[in-house]
Amino acid sequence: MNLFSKKFKCDKCESKFPKYEDLISHARHEHHHEIVKCTECGKEFIHEADRLHHARKEHEKKMFNRIHKSGNKQDKKSTSVQDNVDKFTGHFSDKL
């Protein structure tokens, strides 16, 4: 007897399932539970917290790139000291 064959448990009726997809199907049909989907890959979850955990873990690199998008633009365009001097001295008039 394998004790770990049914590791996904329904929090409504304590039924256990060998696959997460079976638990999703059970929740949808037996308890009319609203299922939330990952917007990136379409994986389904019973709880929003599970979807958020999945998104952070599985799609972390893509999220990191979105968050740091503006920082990457500055890295591509580096300014020298002379560029900064030219920028500020350009505002001065020759007729002082």
CATH of 1-60, one of 2.40.30, 2.50.20, 3.30.160, 1.10.3470: 3.30.160
User: What pTM did the predictor assign?
Assistant: 0.49
Report CA 62 to chain centroid distance, whole Å: 7
Structure tokens given for 63: 């999220």
**Domain range annotation of the chain:** 1-60
Using an 8 Å Cβ cutoff, are 38 and 54 in contact?
A: yes
Task: State yes or no: pLDDT of 70 exceeds 80.
Answer: no
pLDDT digits (tens, 9 = 90+) for 23-59: 999 998 898 888 899 988 999 998 889 999 998 888 8
